[in-house]
Amino acid sequence: MLATCGFADCATSWVSLVPRGALRLAVGAVVAAPLLLGVLVAGLSGASTSCAQAAASAAGGGSWLATAYGPPWDDGNGSGITATGLNLTAGPALLEVAVDPGVIALRSYVHVQPNPFNTQNAFYAGDTGTAILGRHVDVYDWRGRADQLAWGTRTVTVTPAPNPGAGNLLGQVPDTTPTPTSGRAACASGTLGLTAADTAAIQPDGSALAPADAPAAVKAAIAAGNEIHTLPYPSPDVHYGPLSQLWPAYDCSGATSFVLYMASLLGPAAETSGELESYGLAGPGRWITLYANSAHVWIVVAGIALDTAGYGGPPIPAGSGPRWRSDPTANLQDGTAYLVRHPPGL
């Protein structure tokens, strides 16, 4: 529904978002103040349909987030001993990435394009990290913190690679220090601004800034909302097809499903508001919360809501489709009851 919601026999719960840093955050995600940090990431406003389709490919290709980590080693950047037992503090430079092992198998190989070294060689999936979730790789950069921060957070294409043997583990890396890739990475036609605040911030044009210390999935969710926050509500109310394609309009459940999909938190098929009543785990999340009943659903990401209903602040820009709203629970004023759900870990 556009502005009204039907009754569901469920308990209403208020959101409480208290962001907490991950135990090991990718360097590109923890840049300190200034207040507004502009970083090239999965800023999806204007991204092509082919980019979204690639993000859904079963082989792991498509639009991924890539950050960088490495020395100096500390509590926020790891110890230098990887999940697969590599000692990065003592061995030669190598092409290695930290991955989510539920998405990329440890000890496998992937191509990452672009990458900090402008190399076509394969990267070894040798490490993990609590901030590395879903379509996110953390590239080992032995050159130091300045180079890691220069890389920042970008969108890349990740594809499976054959085992190159021991080459990249024996120091088969570029002989010279190349110039880091500049400009927008593959599939990124815009930027996602970051804020040093604990919650997301809505800008005058209606787009949202993501907290700099938010997990990658949260930044991807906000980037996804920014991609569709100017689109209208569909008439008639329909889901057009797979979430891997950008639709001309989004209803409440289509918008919520798209945000979850682009954050690697939902499959490629949009769910209805009734289906989203059973999404994930019960109760509010730390970073992401859904409010759903049989007639309406909206999603709260880092303290702001993406909602098609006219609550929580004026639609910016004007229109009927999904818009970021500053009051994440204002839609509870419609007088109906909602199930409160959240993705595991968020």
DSSP assignments along 45-103, one per residue: TT--HHHHHHHT-TTS-SEEEEEEE-SSPBTTTB-SB-TTS-BTTTS----EEE--TTT
Full pLDDT tens readout for the chain, 346 residues = 333 332 222 322 223 222 222 334 444 443 322 223 322 233 222 233 333 333 333 223 346 889 999 998 876 667 888 998 888 887 667 899 999 998 899 988 898 989 998 888 889 999 998 889 888 999 999 888 889 888 888 888 898 887 765 555 544 444 333 333 222 222 333 347 888 999 999 999 999 999 988 988 899 899 899 999 999 999 999 999 999 888 999 999 999 999 999 888 998 899 999 999 999 999 999 999 999 999 999 999 999 999 999 998 889 999 999 999 999 999 999 989 999 999 998 9
134 and 63 together in one domain: yes
Q: What confidence score (pLDDT) does residue 279 get?
A: 96
Q: Is residue 310 part of a domain?
A: yes
Q: Are 150 and 249 members of one domain? A: no
Shared domain check, 263 and 145 = no
pLDDT of residue 201: 95
What's the pLDDT at 76? Answer: 66
**Omega prior to 204 cis, within 30 of 0:** no
Tell me, yes or no, whether 89 and 209 share the same domain: no
Closest among 343, 302, 342, 296 to 325, alpha carbons compared: 302
Q: Is residue 15 part of a domain?
A: no
Of 29, 1, 21, nearest to 219 by C-alpha is 29
Contacts (Cβ under 8 Å, ≥6 apart) of 201 = 195, 208, 209, 304
Q: Within the chain, where are the H helices?
A: 49-55, 145-151, 216-228, 252-262, 273-276
For residues 225 and 306, state if they share a domain: yes
Structure confidence at residue 13 (pLDDT): 29
Domain boundary among 117, 148, 170: 170
Could you tell me the CA-to-CA distances from 243 to 71, 209, 300, 323 in Å, in that order?
Answer: 39, 23, 19, 18
pLDDT at residue 94 in the model:
85
Same domain? 213 vs 336: yes
Of 127, 149, 170, which residue constitutes the final position of a domain?
Answer: 170
Indicate whether 215 and 110 sit together in one domain: no
DSSP assigned state of 148: H
Whether the Cβ atoms of residue 311 and residue 327 lie closer than 8 Å to each other: yes
- Nearest 5°: the CA angle 37, 39, 45 is 115
Could you tell me if 159 and 222 lie in one domain?
no
- CB 218 within 8 Å of CB 41: no
Query: Do 236 and 148 fall into the same domain?
Result: no
- Give me the number of domains the chain comprises: 2
Predicted local confidence at residue 92, as pLDDT: 64
User: Can you tell me the distance from the alpha carbon of 293 to that of 343, in angstroms, rounded to the nearest whole number?
Assistant: 17
Alpha-carbon span 119 to 175, nearest angstrom: 11
Task: Report the C-alpha gap between 297 and 277 in whole angstroms.
Answer: 8
Same domain, 109 and 229: no
Same domain, 142 and 218: no
Predicted pLDDT of residue 237: 92
Question: Domain containing 39: what range?
Answer: 27-170
Tell me if 276 is assigned to some domain.
yes
> Does residue 53 belong to any structural domain of this protein?
yes
